Structure 1
Amino acid sequence: MSYLRISDTVVETYRIVHYEQTNFLNRLHGGDMLFFLVETGMLSATKVAKGTSLLASLDDVVFKKPVKLGDIIRVRAETVYIGNTSLEVEINAFNQNEEVVSAYATYVKVDDLLRPVPVGVKIVEENEEEKRKIEEIKKRRESKLSKIADRQKMRFRTEDITEGIRYKISNVIHVSPELTYDGKIMSAGKLLKLMDDIGGVVCFNYIGYNNSTDYTSGAVVTVAVKGLTFYSPIRLNDIITIRAGLIYVGNTSADVIINVIREDMKGLKEHVATAYFTYVRIDKEGKPIKMPKYIPVTDREKNLYEEALLRRGLRK
């Protein structure tokens, strides 16, 4: 068994925000930021594991400040804790040394057949601050593991989770080489961007976005991602179906449940991931504005609405 300090695991990457990555306010799209985050996190995990490391979960993604066209973004990732086959990575994005996004991700080291294999490395703390951080990650990890104890069952839950939701949309995509890391496995970052885009479309449809130049209906921006867990990797030539449905609307924000199903060339279907994306409606000045009033109507909508209240801490 070998040992590393947290400082040994740090990876930093830099990105310039280009025009095609921005919205009408010249702000960076949330999906592009998610891509930056998970790709940098993967570099830290791969550096530590010395082998292929795939994203297993992403949680507590919080967008704190907008990023604009031409900004230079520094993304910092460090592996804070290592289990048997998994690595817990803390990821932060900065603009001029001001933190703009924070996230926690879990990666799993896999072999050529995509089976989990031992990492063979442990993290040692150097001071009380690092000891505290590691203890927090352990608690976070234990809580997460308790929620995904039925991972194998979840892998084969391929039903349409947006059934019974009125405001929904789905998209079908062929996994071509440009969507993969290595011509074999789909990039988690590119998948997250696709998920974020379709969630945004659901919100745009709900607020009545008319694609006009005056933006009278406003627009939406991503502010958080929660509960993203991967149950199956996506491979080259798979067909993926991404479904998104509106499940909660507050004063200025909305939650969208987004689900991904893969189907291989033989017709085998597997559940890839499900997550909750939160968007905020803004005006042309970038200020939050009220969402249209939402009342859950169907039984499915009512159940998901109550779950959203619990997740947001608005119900006990």
Structure 2
Amino acid sequence: MGRLHGGDMLKFLADAGMLASMKVGKGLAVLASLDEVLFKRGANLGDIVTVDARVLYIGKTSMEVEMIARRGSETIVTATGTYVKVDNKFRPAPVGDIVVPETEEEREAVAKAMKRREVKVNKLKNKNTMRICSNDPTNFLRHRLSNTTFVGPTMTYDGSVVSAGALLKAMDDLGGTLALRYNGIDHYSPKQDGVVTVAVSDIFFYSPIRLGDIIEMNAGLTFVGKTSMDILINVNRLNMENQECSHVTTAYFSYVRVDPEGRKKEVPIYIPENEYEVELWKESARRRGAVSS
């Protein structure tokens, strides 16, 4: 459709944040969580897009990072995330530095980063078991899609641990494919409708994925609006050496159907039928603010 793929943009953002974190932390940093990603505008073929990342706050081993993609002076995608500095055994390591805001704008950005950090810490307080292999939360959904991937060197940062950007792109590819299938779109044509990524919910990464692991991803449709869809994506990893399974992440990706000119277009009506579909529908509606929590 002549547009930059949403998964590619996610990879650009994650990689830019990683590079900023590594520069400040003077060592390898991995993505621990990605706050809400908002796609404000799309990027088209031939556009020049710049991605900026800056470290706003430094904790003992972690860094709060802001990522912004721009086309000229126009902001097209925003995201924030937490990166953790790790040693050569991927254990958290002290950053050993501080960030001192110098302007009012920087002080406000740091204050917001601190608030986001507090919210994330509260969310994780009672999630000590999240590393345990997750049951497939899409199992009872009518519209679902699965993918299993072997982790080769091209998916890693340095030949040992998976790039968060590569994983996010793989998740978006799966979610986007399911959204296309739901809309009855099974091939590309310049005159064919398509779907675009518009948002990604908070993502927490509970277990690192290493070279030689197997990634199991499951995606399921949970909510449909007038022109948009929510896709729940769950990721587990299987260690081939000891056959241990670990939960990596679970997140909601939101897509919008568009015509060949990029205008929003209505999607087929979806009515949840079983109890589980109704439950996830309500959860998506709460996140969207469609109903009170």
| TM-score category of the 2 structures, normalised to the smaller one | over 0.9
State the one-letter code of the partner of 1:196.
Answer: D
The residue number in structure 1 matching 2:131 is 155
Alpha-carbon shift at residue 214 of structure 1 (Å)? 6.7
Q: For residues 62 and 239 of structure 1, what CA distance do their matches in structure 2 show?
A: 29
Residue in structure 2 matching 1:247, options 199, 222, 228: 222
1:209-249 deviation digits (Å, cap 9, x = unpaired): 14263755x21110111121100000000000011110110
Cα pair 2:133 2:245 within 8 Å, conserved: no
**2:173 paired residue number:** 197
Matched, 1:105 2:81: yes
Q: Which of the residues 137, 143, 152 maps onto 1:176?
A: 152
1:245-294 residue CA offsets vs partner (Å, 9 max, x unmatched): 10110010001011110001121000011111000001111100101111
Q: In the TM superposition, what is the alpha-carbon distance from 1:180 to its structure 2 partner?
A: 0.7
Contact 1:151 1:231 survives alignment (8 Å): no
| Paired position in structure 2 for 1:304 | 280
Q: Which residue of 1 aligns with 2:108?
A: 132
Q: Does the aligned pair in 2 maintain the 1:44–1:78 contact within 8 Å?
A: yes
> Residues of 2 paired with 1:148 and 1:206: CA distance?
33
- Identity across aligned pairs (percent)? 49
Q: Is the 8 A contact 1:90 1:104 kept in 2?
A: yes
1:141 and 2:117 matched: yes
Paired residues in the alignment total: 291
With normalisation by structure 2, the TM-score equals 0.96
Matched residue, 1:70: 46
- Pair 1:224-2:196 in alignment: no
1:7 corresponds in structure 2 to none
Q: In terms of mean alpha carbon deviation, does 39-48 or 95-104 score higher?
A: 95-104
Q: 1:157: how far off?
A: 3.8
Label 1:48 to 1:151 Cα distance change in 2 as closer, same or farther (>3 A).
farther
CA distance 1:146–1:213, change in 2 (3 Å):
same
Question: For 2:189 and 2:21, how far apart are their aligned partners in 1?
Answer: 43
SS at match of 1:124: coil
AA in 1 matched with 2:59: G
Q: Which amino acid aligns with 2:226?
A: N
Runs of 5+ consecutive residues of structure 1 not aligned to the other structure: 1-24
Moved more, 63-72 or 179-188: 63-72
2:233 maps to 258
Superposition deviation, residue 163 in structure 1: 1.5
Amino acid across the alignment from 1:165: L
Instruction: List gaps (5 residues or longer) in structure 2.
Output: none
Higher strand share: 1
Structure 1 CA distance for aligned equivalents of residues 11 and 109 of structure 2: 25
Cα distance in 1, alignment partners of residues 81 and 54 from structure 2:
10
2:88 maps to 1:120: no
Q: Does 1:84 align with 2:60?
A: yes
Q: List structure 1 segments (4+ residues) > 4 angstroms apart after TM superposition.
A: none
Measure, in 2, the Cα distance between the counterparts of 1:122 and 1:305: 43
- CA–CA distance in 2 between the matches of 1:141 and 1:288? 34
Residues 104-162 of structure 1, C-alpha deviation per residue, up to 9 Å, x if partnerless? 01101111111112211111111222222111111111111111223431010421111
Distance in 1 separating the partners of 2:88 and 2:186: 47
SS of equivalent to 1:123? coil
Give the stretch that moved more between structures: 259-268 or 127-136.
127-136
* Letter aligned with residue 119 of structure 1: V
**Separation (CA, whole Å) in 1 of partners of 2:103 and 2:263:** 41
1:210 & 1:194 partners in 2: Cα distance? 18
Contact 1:164 1:299 in 2 (8 A): no
**Distance in 1 between the 2:283 and 2:60 partners?**
32
**2:265 is the counterpart of 1:289:** yes
Matched ranges for 1:48-63 at <5 A: 48-63=24-39
Give, in whole Å, the separation in 2 of the partners of 1:210 and 1:230: 31
Deviation at residue 198 of structure 1 after TM alignment: 0.3
Q: How far apart, CA to CA, are the structure 2 residues paired with 1:214 and 1:295? A: 30
SS at match of 2:35: strand
What is the SS of the residue equivalent to 2:201?
strand
Which stretch shifts more, 187-196 or 124-133? Answer: 124-133
